[in-house]
Amino acid sequence: MAEPSRVVIAAFPGVELLDVTGPAEVFSITSRLLGPDKPGYRVEVAAARAGELQTSGGVRLVADVALDAVGGGVDTLLVAGAMDMSAGRVRAVVDPVVAGWLPEAATRARRVAGLCAGAHLLAAVGLLDGLTATTHWLTAGQLAADHPRIDVDPDPIFVRAGRVWTCAGVTAVLDLALAMVAEDHGQALALDVARAMVMYVKRPGGQSQFSVPLSLQAPADERIDGLRHWIHNHLAEDLPVQVLADRLHLSVRHFSRLFRRRTGHTPTDYLEAVRLEAARRLLEESDRSLPAIAADTGLGSVETLHRTFRNRLGTTPAEYRRRFRSPEAAAPRTA
């Protein structure tokens, strides 16, 4: 049986806890779902010295190995990050020990990723020069100012530029790790891992483009929740507010007021948002044409599809597909 893929997470005192434990959990669950007969992942935490390592939240981790003892045979090198929030400002931390070790270590890894503010460490040693990269929105301005040779895009959840990956803040490390699992073992297994972690199954969007269902934090209401579920299953239909109100046997005025109180959205705004999310998924995961996607999601026309993407995401459907299409959807089909 092939050896498991070796994942090394480079860390330092004050590192963000989830930058280390988040990807480790994704890779661990993947290995367990694969079972003992298939190669999964072996995760190691590396720091200046092996042993106890305190994180930014005060929780202590144990580094498995010293940085200078990592050696070769690294499949995936993840560089964790940290932010200094003292003195009324937010700055990414560039740990000098990790920065000194990173240039040579990166040459020995199949792929390298800067997790959250860890992108600043990759930038500090030139690994992001000439590439598009992202980081936590709080430090994206710092990354762009300090490193003008990097095309900093503050919006994506993560960016892959060849073998170099970067991701946005905190929980985006989970999205990045799941995407790596999808690259290694297929989208189906990545979805199984996401379900096991009770994560909302979603490919990359943007830091300002969070999933519509998760953005609704109002108290539960069975009538509204049921209607939202029905909407998701009937997106291709014509759904004026009158039709939605009629399903709950309410006047349009009463329904609109209730819906907004429960969700924080007007019915029209919510409907456009979920249609946009459905269109995004089809662009990411299928090769369907733009007219078909517009019809399937109820946006109606390619013109409306374009207008919705421009207004809400600041991009076009074609550009979105180019940047975020899954490898499986982009692969040519064989007979």
Q: What is the pLDDT tens value at each position of the chain, 335 positions in all?
A: 578 999 999 999 999 999 999 999 999 999 999 998 899 999 999 999 999 999 999 999 999 999 999 998 999 999 999 999 887 789 999 999 999 999 999 999 999 999 999 999 999 999 999 999 999 988 999 999 999 999 998 878 888 999 999 999 878 999 899 999 989 998 788 888 888 887 754 444 454 444 444 344 344 567 887 888 899 889 999 999 999 999 999 999 999 999 888 877 899 999 998 899 899 889 988 999 999 999 999 999 999 999 999 888 778 899 888 877 766 665 555 54
19 and 163 both lie in a single domain = yes
174 and 239 both lie in a single domain = no
177 and 262 both lie in a single domain = no
* 88 in any annotated domain: yes
User: Rounded to an integer, what is the distance from CA 255 to the centroid of its chain?
Assistant: 34
Q: How many CB atoms are closer than 10 A to CB 209?
A: 20
Domain end position, chosen among 149, 165, 196: 196
Q: Which residues pair with 60 in a beta bridge?
A: 54
249 and 113 both lie in a single domain = no
121 and 218 both lie in a single domain = no
Q: Which residues contact 200 (CB under 8 A, 6 or more apart)?
A: 194, 211, 213, 214
Structural domain boundaries enclosing 155: 5-196
Residue 326 pLDDT: 64
157 and 28 both lie in a single domain = yes
Name the domain count of the chain. 2
Residue 313 pLDDT: 78
Domain end position, chosen among 162, 196, 230: 196
42 and 168 both lie in a single domain = yes
| Phi, psi (deg, nearest 5) at residue 263 | -115, -20
170 and 36 both lie in a single domain = yes
Is the C-alpha dihedral spanning 145, 150, 154, 157 positive or negative?
Answer: negative
Residue 110 pLDDT: 97
Residue 204 pLDDT: 41
